[in-house]
Chains A and B, each alone.
Chain A
Amino acid sequence: MDPVLIIILAVVVVLVVVVIGIYNGLIQKRLRIDEAFAQIEVQLKRRHDLIPNLVNAVKGYMGFEQKVLTDVTNARANAVAAGAQGPAQQAAAENMLTSSLRSLFAVVENYPELKANQNVLELQEQLTTTENQISFSRQHYNATVLDYNTNIATFPSVLIAGVFGFTKREFFDAEPEAANVPTVDLSLG
């Protein structure tokens, strides 16, 4: 065989192997994002399921602050609806829900009977842990998205990403106001 042909063949083989490697790497990163997002969604779903129970448990006690409860119920409905609108929209709706829940917990502090109610305490603990899980899974999700987005925007994988239609993913954005909100002490100790 012609040595030139052999060299050309070798180069083609090497190129194909490299392209396959990069392609598989991108697929894997994209799967990791989906996996991380699934983790967040499990927790969001859990929170949505817990909230009606909490609202029912505290409804009877609260005289003046019915508005706080309707806020929570509305925010929950919005968050459930936003589930189909992509991570950024969903994150915004969930942040509304988080802050309405915080106001509710702050109000609960004013009712000694509620603070002593075992059922309410348990729900409060469940919601606290779910919220913490959401924020930790969100960090993980955003880190995987950042990794993937950087990858498809840099050489050489940018070439392959363009050809095979890998597109940027949205972040599940952290609460912009989180730094300013005075934290409500949710400790049960």
Chain B
Amino acid sequence: MATGSFHGQISANKRNSFLMAALVVAVLGVLGFAIGFAVVGDPAGGIGALILAIGFGSISGLASYFGGDKLVLTVSGAKPVDEASAPQLLNVVREMATAANVPMPAVYLIDDSAPNAFATGRDPQHASIAVTTGLLEKLDREELQGVIGHELSHVRNFDIRFALIVGVMVGAIAILADFFLRFTFWGGGRRSNSREGGGGAQAIVFVIAIVLAIVAPLVSRFIQLAVNRQREYLADASSVELTRNPYGLERALAKISGDPEVLEVANRGTQHMYFTNPIKKFEARASGLMSTHPPIVDRINRLRQLTGEGPIQAGELAGPD
């Protein structure tokens, strides 16, 4: 496996991130235009709302670009660690940073017995990695190396930037759509209906806007999740490229999948960033369109392909699933 193919994948990743972000912005723009047109009653209102929507999206996107990592870390209750409190963790992160040829990220600890980890930040120069105390307790050194390799691959592959910006944009679309739907049901619609010269055209635009307000949040979320699932596979493969040891990561996945604890600080807004989906009930019907991660058994089987071992069945994994 040539490292060249990984460099190719990183640049393809950056290109895809840009395309996906552009697509999400486009969805935001179309939604804004339709809502503006429907509410005001002429295309000029649509343009105004389009500018507003894109402006709102860009500002929140920029805000998350510069401050989103701090927010995510705070929400997750992550505390910075020093050499004295977690020497082995810092050693492993330092090793993997050397292997990935990225600067040493800031390292945080989350006081929770469910084993999990995530990375965030805008680029490798401004990256943070957070792991739970449960991860340190339950994994051995090699397994920890696999998980940290996975997270540092997200850093090196610029997945963390994509997760930050697109996450907020998808949120902005949901807020905008929600806002419009509520506005329609609580009086906005009645006012525009009572207006005289509105006519059939506006009614049609109104219906289109309502349909878009329902569909756009779903579509943008599907895009985000589809990309996220793909990135998880890539990060697993990159981790093995860094550690040269597929077994550590494979054992870590199996152990975490078999762990019954639930990560309390994770929520729907941050679940896609973690090493494995922290919301276990969701993982059970995992291969669906709305899941943030690929099923663990598929991730393990892709690693087993690298070592030439046969696939395992989902039932062979001990666990709550």
Binding site for B on A (CB under 8 A): 39, 122, 125-126, 128-129, 132-133, 136-137, 139-140, 143, 186-189
Knowing A129-B91, A129-B94, the reply to whether A140 touches B141 (Cβ < 8 A) is no
B99 adjacent to A189 (CB under 8 Å): no
B9 at interface, CB cutoff 8 A = no
B262 at interface, CB cutoff 8 A = no
Q: Which of chain B's residues has its CB closest to A128's CB?
A: B141
B88 adjacent to A125 (CB under 8 Å): yes
Question: Contact flags (1/0) for B196-232 with A, using CB distance below 8 Å?
Answer: 0000000000000000000000000000000000000
Q: In the complex, A129→B96 CA distance in Å?
A: 10
Contacts A143-B3, A188-B88 given; 18 further ones with Cβ under 8 A?
Answer: A39-B98, A122-B87, A125-B88, A126-B91, A128-B91, A128-B141, A129-B88, A129-B92, A129-B94, A133-B98, A136-B95, A136-B98, A140-B98, A140-B101, A187-B142, A188-B141, A189-B140, A189-B143
| Chain B at the A interface: SS class | helix
Q: In the complex, A132→B143 CA distance in Å?
A: 14
Q: Which of chain B's residues has its CB closest to A143's CB?
A: B3
Q: Hey, which chain B residues are within 8 Å of A129, CB to CB?
A: 88, 91-92, 94-95
B95 adjacent to A187 (CB under 8 Å): no
Q: Which of chain A's residues has its CB closest to B100's CB?
A: A136
Q: In the complex, A132→B101 CA distance in Å?
A: 14
A125 adjacent to B91 (CB under 8 Å): yes
A133 adjacent to B94 (CB under 8 Å): yes
Number of contact residues on B: which range applies? 10 to 19
Q: Which of chain A's residues has its CB closest to B139's CB?
A: A189
Can you sample 27 A-B contacts with CB below 8 Å? Answer: A39-B98, A122-B87, A125-B87, A125-B88, A125-B91, A126-B91, A128-B91, A128-B141, A129-B91, A129-B92, A129-B95, A132-B95, A133-B94, A133-B95, A133-B98, A136-B98, A137-B98, A140-B98, A140-B101, A143-B3, A186-B141, A187-B140, A188-B88, A188-B140, A188-B141, A189-B139, A189-B143
Nearest CB on B from A185, distance (A): 8
B98 adjacent to A189 (CB under 8 Å): no
Q: Hey, which chain B residues are within 8 Å of A122, CB to CB?
A: 87
Nearest CB on A from B145, distance (A): 8
Q: Hey, which chain A residues are within 8 Å of B101, CB to CB?
A: 140
Binding site for A on B (CB under 8 A): 3, 87-88, 91-92, 94-95, 98-99, 101, 139-143
Knowing A122-B87, A125-B87, A140-B101, the reply to whether A189 touches B141 (Cβ < 8 A) is yes
Q: Hey, which chain A residues are within 8 Å of B141, CB to CB?
A: 128, 186-189
Q: Hey, which chain B residues are within 8 Å of A125, CB to CB?
A: 87-88, 91
Q: Which of A132, A137, A186: most chain B CB closer than 10 A?
A: A132
Q: Which of chain B's residues has its CB closest to A129's CB?
A: B91
Q: Which of chain A's residues has its CB closest to B140's CB?
A: A189
Q: In the complex, A129→B98 CA distance in Å?
A: 11
Q: Hey, which chain B residues are within 8 Å of A143, CB to CB?
A: 3
Nearest CB on A from B255, distance (A): 11
Q: Hey, which chain A residues are within 8 Å of B98, CB to CB?
A: 39, 133, 136-137, 140
Q: In the complex, A133→B101 CA distance in Å?
A: 12
Give the top 10 A-B pairs by smallest Cβ distance, nearest first: A189-B140, A129-B91, A187-B140, A136-B99, A187-B141, A136-B98, A132-B95, A125-B88, A133-B98, A133-B95
Q: Which of chain A's residues has its CB closest to B242's CB?
A: A136
Q: Which of chain A's residues has its CB closest to B99's CB?
A: A136
